[in-house]
Structure 1
Amino acid sequence: MSKQKRTRRSVTIATTVAVVAAASVASLSLAFADGDSAADDGVERASKPTVILVHGAFADASGWNDTAARLRGQGFKVRAVANPLRGPDYDAAYLKSQVQSVKGPKILVGHSYGGAVITNAATAIPDVRALVYIAAFVPEEGETLGRLMEQHPDTSVPPLPTAPFPFAHPDGSTSTEVMLDPAEFHDAFAADVPAATSALMAASQRPIAAEAFGQPLKNAAWKNIPSWALVARNDQAIGPDLERFMAKRAGARISEVDGSHAVMVSRPDAVTNLIKQAYRATL
């Protein structure tokens, strides 16, 4: 090979290496563009806490899908628990049993009624670093959810279009469950969610035991664990003023967003960012 050809080949290789290096830098920049910095990623992914997502009434764990995908993409381990919706005591015990095998630090996230569950359960779950409330109940010890809503009525929020129905126990006794009227589910629960999606949510909603709203809470974990809260300004299930009252009383760091009660579906970005705030503040 002539000296001139070797020189041209060396220039070509050097140019290619430079282009690849520039592309790699650009890719890394994009990887951190959604809010995670290189410094944040410097913490080993394995050391990040497990985020435990707890849904509320008239929903199921799939409502967390977009939030879970974002968190997993940023190195968090995630578990979305199927909440039994039997009452704060029963559900707190079930949550504890579900996450007792999860080692290391945890962040508990509750939506709606799920906020009462994590509040009641967190004191019995080791290594809970933070509580995050998403358009959620944040009750005090001894309070019931029904009483909270009676004491803090919001004239801008119409009564939920609930439909109670009995169900049978194996011994022949009956109890009552409550679900939302599917025809009114969109406006009451998920007004900013596409109609086709909210129709599927209505069809797959899980009813809650009526007695869950009358069971006094035994523990208020926010008294000892740092908390964050996202208020959905357009919530038509829990009044935004009630959400603010409960969050302020708990000393939570409060963020607000324009969103319906199903804010984890319509605004997973805001939900994910709040969870990341809790993570960074409790490192």
Structure 2
Amino acid sequence: MFVLIPGAGGSAWYWHPVVSELRARGHEAIAVDLPGADESAGLPEYTDAVVAAIGERTDTVLVAQSMGGFTAPMVCDRVPVGLLVLVNAMVPLPGETPGQWWGNTGSEPARLAAAEAGGYGTEFDLDTYFLHDVPAEIVAAGEGHERPEADIAFGQPCDIERWPDTTTRVLSATGDRFFPVGFQRRVARDRLGIEAETIPGGHLAALSHPSPLVDRLVERLP
């Protein structure tokens, strides 16, 4: 059973190509819709929603994208998870907030350095950093699913005492301009002591390269 956590905004739609591909290959898969735009709901409520989706299952493969990396370890602290896969994800320290993560990891200098090396703009915009490799028809279809991320979650800590014992994999997209692959590799080594695996695509690899991503997700299943 695959349970997929979206990033900021919390739209389950982001994962729809991956969910379809997993189901076509005979796997059970659901993406969890989170109340990302709700100023009264934050990381604890996101965790509650994912835990409810898992239910009584004990063999779940939990997949988290981007800001979903803050919710995922909190879920693993509460219910048995067979495997945790982080995809272009924020990797939090115990007690760290998403707002602190950017400065603590040096994500902004890494983004700017990658932009200068890659020859694209350093000023953040969605087309350059999120949508540059997503097919136009997918971009158009996603316009109705865009949501802001309420400020509340950025000030809430990842409420764990240590990283869970759950086996963890990190998948980093080689074309990610928001969290450059070298930056992701460093964070994975420094914070988890593991080597990130590479996948094709940018930050929204589930939309731009769903089949190669699914290939990696179904490897080494518990």
Alignment TM-score > 0.5, same fold: yes
Which residue is 2:46 aligned to?
91
1:134 matches 2:134: no
Which residue is 2:203 aligned to?
261
- Looking at structure 2, the residues matched to 237 and 203 of structure 1 have their Cα atoms a distance apart, in angstroms, of 22
The answer (yes or no) to whether the contact 2:3–2:53 under 8 Å persists in 1 is no
Deviation at 1:78? 0.9
Deviation at 1:196? 3.2
Which residue is 2:131 aligned to?
190
| Number of residue pairs matched by the alignment | 206
Give RMSD over aligned pairs: 2.2
Deviation at 1:221? 6.9
Please identify, of 186-195 and 55-64, the stretch whose mean Cα deviation from structure 2 is larger. 55-64
Which digits, 9 at most, give the CA deviation of each residue in 1:57-112, with x for residues without a partner? 14621222221122112221111110222422221122112322x43411100011
Task: Supply the AA of the counterpart residue of 1:266.
Answer: S
Q: Following superposition of structure 1 onto structure 2, how do residues 1-283 of structure 1 map, counting pairs within 5 Å? A: 50-58=1-9, 60-85=11-36, 86-100=41-55, 102-126=56-80, 128-151=81-104, 152=106, 153=108, 154=110, 155=112, 156=114, 158=122, 160=124, 184-219=125-160, 222-248=163-189, 249-252=191-194, 254-279=196-221, 282=222
**Greater share of strand:** 1
Deviation at 1:220? 6.6
* Residue 53 to residue 76, structure 1, CA distance change in 2 (3 Å): same
Which residue is 2:119 aligned to?
none
The answer (yes or no) to whether the contact 1:59–1:204 under 8 Å persists in 2 is no
- Looking at structure 2, the residues matched to 229 and 218 of structure 1 have their Cα atoms a distance apart, in angstroms, of 20
Deviation at 1:231? 0.8
Which digits, 9 at most, give the CA deviation of each residue in 1:102-145, with x for residues without a partner? 4341110001111211122111013x101001111121101122
Aligned-pair identity in percent equals 26
Q: Mark the structure with the bigger radius of gyration.
A: 1
Aligned-partner SS, 2:96: coil
Task: Supply the AA of the counterpart residue of 2:126.
Answer: F
Which digits, 9 at most, give the CA deviation of each residue in 1:1-49, with x for residues without a partner? xxxxxxxxxxxxxxxxxxxxxxxxxxxxxxxxxxxxxxxxxxxxxxxxx
- Looking at structure 2, the residues matched to 59 and 93 of structure 1 have their Cα atoms a distance apart, in angstroms, of 13
* Residue 218 to residue 240, structure 1, CA distance change in 2 (3 Å): same
* Residue 239 to residue 212, structure 1, CA distance change in 2 (3 Å): farther
* Residue 159 to residue 145, structure 1, CA distance change in 2 (3 Å): farther
Structure 1 spans left out of the alignment, 5+ residues: 1-49, 161-183
The answer (yes or no) to whether the contact 2:199–2:213 under 8 Å persists in 1 is no
Deviation at 1:211? 2.5
* Residue 221 to residue 93, structure 1, CA distance change in 2 (3 Å): farther
The answer (yes or no) to whether the contact 1:108–1:131 under 8 Å persists in 2 is yes
Aligned-partner SS, 1:228: strand
- Looking at structure 2, the residues matched to 148 and 109 of structure 1 have their Cα atoms a distance apart, in angstroms, of 20
Structure 2 spans left out of the alignment, 5+ residues: 116-121
- Looking at structure 1, the residues matched to 152 and 87 of structure 2 have their Cα atoms a distance apart, in angstroms, of 22
